[in-house]
Structure 1
Amino acid sequence: MSTAADLIRVRGVGGTTLDDVVSTSKVSKSQLYRHFEDKPALVRAVIEYVGDRKIDGERERLENVRTFAGLRRWRDAIVETNALQDGRYGCALGSLANEVADNDWVARLKLNELFDAWIELFRVVLRRFQEERIIPPSVDVEQLAIGFVAAVQGGYLLAQTARDVAPMASAIDMAIAHLELLSRVNEDTLNELLA
C-alpha cells in the first residue's frame, strides 16, 4: 500500500496506472487484482491508508497542545515537514480530494470523514483552550476548527504552487493570530463584536 500511496502522492491519481503500481511494488498483476478489483478500489484503499496515517500523526502532534506556545510548535513542525520537499506535494488528503471528489462518491465520503476527524482534533484543542480560559467560552469552536483546517489546507496549496512554505506559514500564522486576538478580548467586548 505504501508504494501505491507514494506513487499517487508524486504522480497524482490520474498519472498513476495499475501497471505503475505493479512494476514499482514488484508484485504481479494477479496479486494486485486479488486485493483490488480495479483502480478506484486501489485509490480508495490508498485514501484509507494515507488518511489514517495523517489523522494519527495530527492526533499525536495536537494531543498535548494546551498553550499558544504549543500551537506554534505544532505549526513549526508541519511547516518544517512540508519544507523538506519545498512544499511540492501539498497535503496528501487535500490532493486526493481534489482529484477524486467529483468522480468517486465513495472516495469523497471517506475523504469527508477524514477531514471531519481532522476538524475534530482542532475542536478538542480549542475546547481545551476554553477550559483553560485561554479563549472565551462563548466563541464558536466549530467555526474556529473549520477555519484552522481551511488555513492549513490553503497553506499547503499555496506552498505547493509557490514551491515555498512561506505562504503556508503565513496562513497558519493568521489563524493563530485570530485566536490570540480572541484571547485578549473579554466576554462583553466579544459579545459586542459578534452582535
Structure 2
Amino acid sequence: MTESVKPRRLTPKGLATRNRIIDAATALIARHGVAGTGIEDVRSAAEVSGSQLYHYFDSKQALIRAVITRQADSALGPRIEALDSFEALRAWADAAIERQLENDGRGDCSLGSLAGELSASDEDSRTDLANGFLRWKDLILNGLRAMRDRGELREDAELDELAFALLSALQGGVLLSQTMRHVQPLEASLNAALAYIRSFAAPGSVA
C-alpha cells in the first residue's frame, strides 16, 4: 500500500516544503477537482522541483492521501472548541453556512468533494475518507455525550444516530449548495438536523 507520508523525520525546512506542496494541491483540487489536477500543476504552483516533490510524495495517490489527511484534520471545517452545547452546535452550523456564502456556493477541497471523486475508484483513499468522516462524527458524538451527561439531552437520545444525522446534513447540504450555487440547501439541512437534536432536549434544559 502506498503511504502518504514517507518514513523519515523532516527538518523544519522540509516540513515547510511538504506543507507548501499540500497547500498547492488542496487549492488546485478545489478549483479543478482531483482528475483535473496533475502532479506537474502542483509542482509549478508550489514552486518546487520535480525531485523535491517526489522526495515527499512518490505518486499522485500519495499526495492525494496527504490532502485527505489534512482536510480530515480541519475538524469539521470551521473550528469550534467543543460541540457540547446547543449554542456551540448552532455556532458551528452558522460558520459552515458562512463558509459557503464566502465561496459563493462554489466547491472547495472538502472530504465530501474528495469522496465524490475517489470513493468508488480508489480503495485506499476511500478508507482514508471513511476514517476522516468517522473522526468528524466522533467529535460531534463526544459533544452530544457531554450534553447528555449534564442532563441537557434526554437519556433515551440515540447519540450515534444524532451525530450521523448532523454530519449527513452537513455533507448533503454542502453538495446541494455547491451544485445549485445557493446556500439554502445547506441552511435547510442543518436547521432540520439541529431541530431534530433539540427535540431530545431534557425537560427544563435550555434549548
TM superposition score normalised by structure 1? 0.86
Separation in structure 2 between the aligned mates of residue 90 and residue 79 of structure 1, nearest angstrom: 13
Alignment of 1:174-185 (within 5 A): 174-183=192-201
Q: Does 1:128 align with 2:149?
A: no
Shift of residue 148, structure 1, vs aligned partner: 0.8
CA-to-partner distance for each residue in 1:146-169, whole Å, 9 max, x for gaps? Answer: 111000101111110111111101
8 Å CA contact 1:82, 1:90 repeated in 2: no
Q: Aligned pair in 2 of structure 1 residues 166, 90: CA closer, same or farther (>3 Å)?
A: farther
Q: Does 1:18 align with 2:18?
A: no
The answer for the alignment partner of 2:54 in structure 1 is 33
Shift of residue 93, structure 1, vs aligned partner: 0.5
Moved more, 69-78 or 172-181: 69-78
Alignment of 1:110-125 (within 5 A): 110-125=128-143
8 Å CA contact 1:87, 1:165 repeated in 2: yes
Name the aligned partner's letter for residue 134 of structure 1.
Answer: E
Structure 1: segments with no counterpart, 5+ residues:
187-195
Name the aligned partner's letter for residue 146 of structure 2.
Answer: R
SS of match in other structure, 1:145: helix
8 Å CA contact 1:62, 1:74 repeated in 2: no
8 Å CA contact 1:66, 1:129 repeated in 2: yes
CA-to-partner distance for each residue in 1:1-56, whole Å, 9 max, x for gaps? Answer: 1011111122110000111111111111121122222211111111112221x227
Moved more, 117-126 or 175-184: 175-184
The answer for the alignment partner of 1:189 in structure 2 is none
SS of match in other structure, 2:44: helix
4+ residue segments displaced more than 6 Å: none
8 Å CA contact 1:18, 1:39 repeated in 2: yes
The answer for the alignment partner of 1:76 in structure 2 is 94
Separation in structure 2 between the aligned mates of residue 166 and residue 111 of structure 1, nearest angstrom: 26
Separation in structure 2 between the aligned mates of residue 173 and residue 7 of structure 1, nearest angstrom: 31
Shift of residue 184, structure 1, vs aligned partner: 6.4
> How many aligned residue pairs are there?
183
Separation in structure 2 between the aligned mates of residue 7 and residue 24 of structure 1, nearest angstrom: 8
Share of identical aligned residues, percent? 36
> Which of 28, 50, 61 is equivalent to 1:7?
28
Q: Aligned pair in 2 of structure 1 residues 66, 116: CA closer, same or farther (>3 Å)?
A: closer
Q: When you count helix as a share of all residues, which structure comes out higher?
A: 1
SS of match in other structure, 1:61: coil
> Which of 112, 121, 126 is equivalent to 1:94?
112
Taking only aligned residues, the RMSD between alpha carbons, in angstroms, comes to 1.9
Alignment of 1:144-163 (within 5 A): 144-163=162-181
Name the aligned partner's letter for residue 2 of structure 1.
Answer: D
Moved more, 155-164 or 83-92: 83-92
8 Å CA contact 1:90, 1:156 repeated in 2: no
The answer for the alignment partner of 2:80 in structure 1 is 61
